[in-house]
Amino acid sequence: MIKQAVILAGGKGTRLRSRLKDRPKPLVDILGVSLLERQILALKKNSIKKILLLVNYKYEEIVSFCKKNKYWDLDINIKLDEDGKVGTAGALLSSINFLDDIFLVVYGDTLFNIDIERFQKFHNLNKADITLYLHPNDHPYDSDLVEINDQNRVTKFHNYPHNENFFYPNLVNAAFYVINKESIVDINLEIGEFDLAKHLFPKLIYKLKIIGYNSSEYIKDCGTPERLDKCEFDLKNGLVENSSLKLKQKAVFIDRDGTINFENGFISSPKQIKLYNFVASSIFNLKKEGFLVFLITNQPVVARGECSIETLNQIHWKIEKSLSKSKTFFDKIYYCPHHPDSGFPGEVKYLKIKCNCRKPENGMIEKAIKEYNIDREKSWFIGDSTADLAASFKSKVKSILVKTGNAGRDNKYNYKPNYVSENLEEASKLIINRQQ
Ligand SMILES: [Zn+2]
């Protein structure tokens, strides 16, 4: 288990001046408890034993605050980052001798509640050098975005500002990392390089195995008065506490073609995707009720060679872009690229298999259940075909058949829905009403 966390808390907090009342930035008050103490307690709860705290501005005050709290019975080493101009990369690399073989990096202005054991398991499983905690958010258009491949490997960084004409993945770097010391020990920063996310990681993706971990747990920057207010609001509403994947989550799984978009033959280009007008508001309302929302879709067009993975990504990023305009998102998109029947011209041989993810099988639902610690009893599937009903039955989640798209008329599999609704909007209302 990972034992050490480094907190990069060197910032002056200029943007938070009105709330700081002369305190150093890490001691900004959030509902009666300082941000630093909240961070330390969230780490301690997750088995972190050692903290290296890199501070700059008002160092003495931070030291006396930690002393007053008896260092929360942890091994806390507070280091003065003498030159405040070296940035996050400089601060981290200049502390290399104080770091364990594997450690966590936390930014000093984030409020979080993350299951670190789960995060590290993913890091180990993927044999990563560095793993970045990523998540979709409700404002990807002004966020720095990260692209990962189907092996979770980070392949590109798309920094803000973005080209309005392109589609991008809604995956935001939350500034929370697991790093193997060995992988960064020999790095010398060049002039002008000072930021981990902006300068160092984009350069290292070619040299190191940098992996993206996509999660739904709470982490938000509270470095401005507006963001601080949002964090306080989320704390009061239990959003921070309930988001940890140590706790069971409730979910709604949603099918794609015919359920969120007009059925249009086999869709093989972003141009062919047209969402129903009630999709964004339905997802928004489900998320407001605390449901995680996943897209679960069979895309045999990939195996048949009619659509590449890159184009399929473009199609999904177009959907994400459209949802982001209504400030909502899918927590994750799961797709099955396989198809069992061979003999199509141009087909992709290695995807021509009988897999366990293609609905009516339930591999995609099971994967989500495992990755997000989903409570089956509180979860639902909304789809328009009998394959959706079969998959949800196998995973023991309640099903709703919608009358859009196929409307269950495919009659391929003999499974009955728990409920029938006009469309996704009615189905989401039913779910919200049924749970009360
Ligand atoms: Zn599959």
> Of 45-49, 190-194, 356-360, 368-372, which range is least confident?
190-194
Burial of 165 (0-12, 13-18, 19+ CB in 10 A): exposed
Compute the chain's Rg from CA coordinates.
Answer: 23
pTM for the predicted model, two decimal places: 0.96
Tokens found for residue 318: 């177009």
The rounded Å distance from CA 301 to ligand 1 centre is: 12
CA 409 to mean position of chain CA atoms: 35
Verify cis geometry, omega within 30 degrees of 0, for the bond prior to 340: no
Asked if 316 and 275 count as a contact pair (C-beta separation under 8 A), the reply is no
pLDDT tens, position by position, 402-419: 999 999 999 999 999 999
pLDDT tens, position by position, 208-267: 999 999 999 999 999 899 999 999 999 999 999 999 999 999 999 999 999 999 988 889
Average pLDDT over residues 303-324: 96
For residue 85, the model assigns a pLDDT of 67
Return the residue matching tokens 């195995």. Answer: 209
- Amino acid identity, residue 160? Y
CA 24 to mean position of chain CA atoms: 30
pLDDT tens, position by position, 127-166: 999 999 999 999 999 999 999 999 999 999 999 999 999 9
Looking at the chain, the whole-number percentage of residues with pLDDT higher than 90 is 87
Asked if 42 and 113 count as a contact pair (C-beta separation under 8 A), the reply is yes
Q: pLDDT band at 297, cuts 50/70/90?
A: very high
Whether residue 83 has pLDDT greater than 80: no
Closest CA to 13 of 224, 174, 196: 224
The rounded Å distance from CA 424 to ligand 1 centre is: 24
Whether residue 82 has pLDDT greater than 80: no
Asked if 126 and 209 count as a contact pair (C-beta separation under 8 A), the reply is yes
The rounded Å distance from CA 334 to ligand 1 centre is: 10
The rounded Å distance from CA 361 to ligand 1 centre is: 9
The rounded Å distance from CA 348 to ligand 1 centre is: 13
Burial of 240 (0-12, 13-18, 19+ CB in 10 A): buried
User: Which amino acids are annotated catalytic?
Assistant: 255, 257
- Amino acid identity, residue 161? P
For residue 436, the model assigns a pLDDT of 61
CA distance 275 to 289: 22
Whether residue 430 has pLDDT greater than 70: yes
For residue 362, the model assigns a pLDDT of 98
Q: What is the 3-class SS of 316-359, one letter each residue?
A: HHHHHHHHHCCCCCCCEEEEECCCCCCCCCCCCHHHCCCCCCCC
Looking at the chain, the whole-number percentage of residues with pLDDT higher than 70 is 99
Whether residue 110 has pLDDT greater than 90: yes
Q: What mean pLDDT is reported for the chain?
A: 95
CA distance 25 to 293: 35
For residue 14, the model assigns a pLDDT of 85
The rounded Å distance from CA 391 to ligand 1 centre is: 13
The rounded Å distance from CA 335 to ligand 1 centre is: 8
pLDDT tens, position by position, 262-287: 988 889 999 999 999 999 999 999 99
CA distance 168 to 156: 11
Verify cis geometry, omega within 30 degrees of 0, for the bond prior to 140: no
Q: Please, what are the domains in the chain?
A: 4-241 (3.90.550.10), 248-434 (3.40.50.1000)
